């Protein structure tokens, strides 16, 4: 992998990640941009104790641009985009409309490929390994920022999820606090350790592997299963067999096997609802240990992949119980979901 750092016309950082070491990246951003000004701030909810990002400037962000005006495509044929080069492998840059900025954190965009009409599942294993390397590199760099407590790499896919740009891309949020979801996991892990003397994540993985009922896919280095109390109709958790806190801890063997396992999971998701359905909308989310929180040593890196589609043509909406009280009601038994995902294996 070769990494090349540059700056966009408004001062934002942009990073090229290339498979070839001899790739030269010297194209200059020629757009007449003014420096980005954001009003992002973090407010604490006194009742729930969690943090809310207030980012009203995001109302002006690009929304479903017409064909030929995608800001994530390369700059070609006289049209200038967010990526100055005429082609690229993987690119990461600071978001022009960030939810978090300055002392309130940082938001980055990850363009998985220059091909506007592709999706992550279309990538080959080498290219997927490059994306993993980019995620890892950004975790390393963002962890060094004094205001950052946790790094979250994720992909939203599909208009049903709320994606505003169709180009295959993901995001990275560098939070200045530990997120509520992670805080709850750390609390559960601490309680489990105090009561059993064991690691909660290790016990969860061991139970699923031993049972096999909700297993979806296994490898030498990774295991994927539908969780016992899945929140979403089709939800898979992917763990490395050797527990590490974040992407920085993965060894060479885990990195080498990840592309095959992950691509197969994405392709199975797309086969779930048949060829007559539109591509499956999903969220793919890396859960990494916060950098300074108590209990970090007990946390386990894992990826959660889920879709809001419960059957062909029908979505799972977060209505009264879910949105009002955070009590999920799942329409699909986890065991049935796991069986469907096993049956969707590549022929």
Tens of pLDDT, residues 25-51? 999 999 999 988 887 899 999 999 999
CATH code for the domain in which residue 297 is found: 3.30.428.10
The total of structural domains in the chain comes to: 2
Backbone angles phi, psi at 283, to 5 degrees: -120, 130
Q: Are residues 162 and 306 in the same domain?
A: no
Backbone angles phi, psi at 132, to 5 degrees: -60, -40
CA 155 to CA 286: how far, in whole Å?
9
Q: What is the reported pLDDT for 62?
A: 73
Q: Could you tell me which residues are beta bridge partners of residue 6?
A: 14
Closest CA to 272 of 261, 282, 280: 280
Query: Given 126, 160, 175, which residue is the final one in a domain?
Result: 175
Q: Are residues 80 and 39 in the same domain?
A: yes
Average pLDDT (141-161) is 96
Average pLDDT (235-248) is 98
Q: Are residues 202 and 312 in the same domain?
A: yes
Q: Are residues 108 and 55 in the same domain?
A: yes
Tens of pLDDT, residues 263-293? 999 999 999 997 666 889 999 999 999 999 9
* DSSP secondary structure of 214-255: TEEEE-SSEEEE--TT-SSSEEEEEEESS--SSGGG--HHHH
Tens of pLDDT, residues 199-222? 999 999 999 999 999 999 999 999
The sign of the torsion formed by the CA atoms of 160, 161, 162, 165 equals negative
Q: Are residues 34 and 147 in the same domain?
A: yes
Work out the mean pLDDT of the chain and round it to a whole number. Answer: 95
Q: What is the reported pLDDT for 120?
A: 98
The sign of the torsion formed by the CA atoms of 82, 84, 89, 92 equals negative
Q: Are residues 216 and 298 in the same domain?
A: yes
Q: Could you tell me which residues are beta bridge partners of residue 16?
A: 4, 91
CA 289 to CA 298: how far, in whole Å?
9
Catalytic residues: 169
Q: Are residues 129 and 272 in the same domain?
A: no
Tens of pLDDT, residues 70-79? 999 999 999 9
Q: Are residues 154 and 222 in the same domain?
A: no
Q: Are residues 32 and 156 in the same domain?
A: yes
Average pLDDT (294-323) is 95
Tens of pLDDT, residues 82-134? 999 999 999 999 999 999 998 899 999 999 999 999 999 999 999 999 999 99
Q: What is the reported pLDDT for 37?
A: 82
Query: Given 149, 175, 201, which residue is the final one in a domain?
Result: 175
CB-side exposure of 332: number of CA atoms within 13 Å?
26
CA 16 to CA 91: how far, in whole Å?
5
CA 166 to CA 80: how far, in whole Å?
18
Running DSSP on this structure, what letter comes out for residue 9? Answer: T
Q: Are residues 191 and 299 in the same domain?
A: yes
CA 54 to CA 81: how far, in whole Å?
27
Q: Look up the domain containing 264 and give its range.
A: 180-343
CA 233 to CA 94: how far, in whole Å?
33
Q: Are residues 60 and 90 in the same domain?
A: yes
Q: Are residues 207 and 276 in the same domain?
A: yes
User: Please, which contacts does 24-29 make with residues 24 or more away whose CB atoms are closer than 8 Å?
Assistant: 25/85, 27/75, 27/84, 27/85, 27/86, 28/84, 29/80, 29/84
pTM for the structure as a whole: 0.96
Backbone angles phi, psi at 239, to 5 degrees: -120, 140
Query: Given 157, 175, 193, which residue is the final one in a domain?
Result: 175
Q: What is the reported pLDDT for 276?
A: 60
CA 216 to CA 225: how far, in whole Å?
5
């Amino acid at each position: 992998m070769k990494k090349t750092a540059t700056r966009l016309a408004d001062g934002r950082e942009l990073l090229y990640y290339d498979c070839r070491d001899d790739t030269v990246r010297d194209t200059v951003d020629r757009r007449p941009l003014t420096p980005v000004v954001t009003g992002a701030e973090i407010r604490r909810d006194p009742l729930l104790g969690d943090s809310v990002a207030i980012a009203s400037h995001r109302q002006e962000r690009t929304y479903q641009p017409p064909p030929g005006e995608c800001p994530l495509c390369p700059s070609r044929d006289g049209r200038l985009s967010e990526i100055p080069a005429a082609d690229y492998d993987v690119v990461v840059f600071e978001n022009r409309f960030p939810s978090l900025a300055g002392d309130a954190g940082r938001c980055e965009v990850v363009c998985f490929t220059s091909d506007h009409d592709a999706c992550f599942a279309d990538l080959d294993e080498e290219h997927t390994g490059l994306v993993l390397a980019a995620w890892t590199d950004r975790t390393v760099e963002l962890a060094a920022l004094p205001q950052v407590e946790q790094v979250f790499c994720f992909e939203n896919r599909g208009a049903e999820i709320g994606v505003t740009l169709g180009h295959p891309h993901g995001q990275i949020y560098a939070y200045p606090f530990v997120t509520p979801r992670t805080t709850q996991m750390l609390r559960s892990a601490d309680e489990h350790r105090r009561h059993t003397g064991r690691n909660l994540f290790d016990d969860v993985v061991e139970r699923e592997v031993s049972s096999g009922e909700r297993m979806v896919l296994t490898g030498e280095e990774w295991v994927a299963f539908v969780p016992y109390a899945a929140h979403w109709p089709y939800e898979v958790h992917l763990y490395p067999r050797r527990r590490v806190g974040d992407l920085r801890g993965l060894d060479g063997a885990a990195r080498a096997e990840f592309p095959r396992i992950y691509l197969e999971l994405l392709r199975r998701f797309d086969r779930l609802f048949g060829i007559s359905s539109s591509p499956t909308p999903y969220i793919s989310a890396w859960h990494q240990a916060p950098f300074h929180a108590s209990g970090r040593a007990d946390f386990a890196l894992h990826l959660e992949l889920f879709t809001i589609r419960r059957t062909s043509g029908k979505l799972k909406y977060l209505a009264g119980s879910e949105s009002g009280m955070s009590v999920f009601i799942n329409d699909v038994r986890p065991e049935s979901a796991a069986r469907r995902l096993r049956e969707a294996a590549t022929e």
